[in-house]
Amino acid sequence: MIRLALRTLPVFAVIIGFAMALAAYMNFSGVRSAYLDLIRSRMSMMAEDIANDIMTANEIGIRLPEQTTLPALLARQTVTDPLMLSIDVVSEGGDTLFSSDAARTGKKDDAAGDGGAFRYVRQIVNNFGAPVGSVVVRLDRADIDQRIDSLRFEIMTGALPAGLAAVIAGSLVCLVLLTFLHRHARRSAFDPPANDWIHRAAGEVAQIEPRLQQ
């Protein structure tokens, strides 16, 4: 019987394994999405505040390259956040006009080559709808990825023993069910109760026999 129950192990392993993998992935991906949404939402608020300041200055006639108080503002916003690589203000032509990271000032902003950064870009347009430039908030992608990888590892390592336990529990219950069925079937086949239906039917058939022998 144990051998029989063990034969269900591969099927339980495949079915429960698929369900557990999907469930674990959904848990992971739900939390990852929430985490990235939180980060994006915070980045968008930062970029929005800076863009508002830039537009206010622009409205009173200070052109973007002339807004020389921006580096201090960008530095203040950056310093409190350990994930922050830099906040840049980029001209319409793609040149970094101001940055919290002095080394980036004056260089071209290369979004495609900036793989190490998790970026959020907020376009700035003047009152006539003409583009003025953009605010680029850059966070450390490696740090974010490392946190997400750690989340993935912990959820998956939690799912693995739970899945194994589920497979073993399934097989154990299978063993119990098979044993019960086997015992019940053996009794019906080899040691039936005197009042079971076959005996009753045989009794009824036997009642007809005397008449046939007359």
Partner 1 sequence: MTSLRVRLSITVVVVLIAALVYISFRTVERAQALLEPELESKAATVADSTAALIGRALDVGIPFDRIEGLNAYLGRILDNNPDLATIVVRDASGRAVYGAGGALDASARTVTAPIGAKDNRTELLLVGLEPSYARRIVSALWVDLAIIMLVTALIALELIYVGFGTGLYGAIEGVEKRLRTLRRGDLRMHLPVESGSEFERIAHALDDRLKGLHETYASFRERASERGDHISQQALDLVRHRFGLGEAMIAAPMSVIAVRAPLFVFMLAEELTRPFLPVYIRQLATPIPGLSPEFVVSLPMVAFLVVVALAQPLFGNLTDRLGRRRSLILGAGLGLVGYCAAAAVTGLIGLTLARVVSALGFAFVFVSAQGFVIDATDIRQRSSGMAMFISAILVAGLCGPPIGGILADRVGIAATFVIAGLFAAASLVLAVLCMPPDSARKEHAPAVRWRDFAPILASPRLTGLFFLCAMPAKIILVAFCFFLVPLEIGALGVTQATTGRMLMIYPVAMVLLVPVFASLADRWDMRTGFVVIGGLVAGASAFAMLLGADQIAPLALMLFGLGVGQAISIAPLSGLVGELSRELPTDVSETSVYGIFRLFERTGSAFGPLIAGALLGLYQFQMTVIIIGAATGLSALLFGALIGLMRQPKVGVPAPGV
Site for partner 1 in 48-87 (CB under 8 A): 48-49, 80-81
Q: Can residue 178 be called a binding residue for partner 1 (CB under 8 A)? A: yes
Q: Can residue 124 be called a binding residue for partner 1 (CB under 8 A)? A: no
Minimum Å gap between C-beta 6 and partner 1 is 9
Residue type, 31: V
For the purposes of burial, counting CB atoms within 10 Å of the CB of 13, is it exposed (0-12), middle (13-18) or buried (19 or more)? middle
| Gap between the Cα atoms of 185 and 148, Å rounded | 54
Q: Can residue 145 be called a binding residue for partner 1 (CB under 8 A)? A: no
Residues 18-37 that bind partner 1 (CB under 8 A): 18-20, 22-31, 34-35
Nearer to partner 1 by Cβ, of 111 and 165: the residue is 165
| Spacing of C-alpha 86 from chain mean position | 28
Output phi, psi for 122, to 5 deg. -115, 115
**How far, CA to CA in Å, does 40 sit from each of 36, 48, 200?**
6, 12, 77
Minimum Å gap between C-beta 174 and partner 1 is 6
Nearer to partner 1 by Cβ, of 94 and 150: the residue is 150
User: Candidates 12-20, 90-98, 105-113, 115-123 — which segment interacts with partner 1 by CB under 8 A?
Assistant: 12-20
Minimum Å gap between C-beta 89 and partner 1 is 18
Residue 133 backbone class (left: φ over 0; alpha: ψ -120 to 50; beta: rest): left
Q: Can residue 108 be called a binding residue for partner 1 (CB under 8 A)? A: no
| Interface with partner 1 (CB under 8 A), residue from 61, 110, 127, 197 | 197
Residues 146-175 that bind partner 1 (CB under 8 A): 147, 151, 154-155, 158-159, 162-163, 165-166, 169-170, 173-174
User: Candidates 40-48, 60-68, 87-95, 120-128 — which segment interacts with partner 1 by CB under 8 A?
Assistant: 40-48
Nearest C-alpha neighbor of 101 from the set 83, 87, 89, 91: 87
**How far, CA to CA in Å, does 1 sit from each of 90, 169, 171?**
73, 16, 11
Number of Cβ atoms within 10 Å of the Cβ of 197: 8
Q: Can residue 119 be called a binding residue for partner 1 (CB under 8 A)? A: no
User: Candidates 93-101, 103-111, 115-123, 180-188 — which segment interacts with partner 1 by CB under 8 A?
Assistant: 180-188
Contacts of 105 (CB under 8 A, 6+ apart): 71, 96, 97, 98, 99
